[in-house]
Amino acid sequence: MIVSEILNSKYGTFPDHIIGCVETELVSDAIERMWENKVGALVVSNDDGVAGVFSERDVLRLLMTNQDDFRSLKLSDVMTRNVIGVSPNDTAESALETMRENRIRHLTVMEGDNLVGFLSLRDLMVFKIEHAKRSAQFLKDQIAGQSDPLPM
């Protein structure tokens, strides 16, 4: 199972629209966009492409630093700049391992310099659970003699 399969199940095809924002936007606007779209992170872009990621963790970090009126800060001042991503041809297992190693919950999916998707830990887990359910059903059908045997 590869990342492009997960993107296809999530979007139908690679998305033309990824929920994001530009680095000159205010933190308050980004938080509102996250809330409206029920997402935990946004891809932040600039003229050169992907500039960073702004996530719920960034909001928590701002709250804990006791900054007065952090909502009026620009995303470029507070976003996570170290963007970690995968390619559409990477496996789901390697994407999960990348998340685990870096202690993150979101990955950009890049094809060269082009952003083609954005994956959350939830996306990967939903896909893996659905895959496990289909595999279990296939095995049950095999045992009951209701499906073709696996090709050798």
Phi, psi (degrees; rounded to nearest 5) at 29: -65, -40
Tell me the pTM. Answer: 0.80
Does residue 129 carry a pLDDT above 60? yes
Does residue 57 carry a pLDDT above 80? yes
pLDDT tens digits, one per residue of 70-125: 878 999 999 999 999 999 999 999 999 999 999 999 999 999 888 988 998 988 88
Please report the domains of the chain, with CATH numbers, ordered by start residue.
Answer: 3-143 (3.10.580.10)
Q: What is the mean pLDDT of residues 30-35?
A: 94
- Measured distance CA(97)–CA(4) in Å, rounded: 17
62 CB-near residues (< 8 Å, 6+ apart): 27, 70, 73, 78
Does residue 136 carry a pLDDT above 90? no
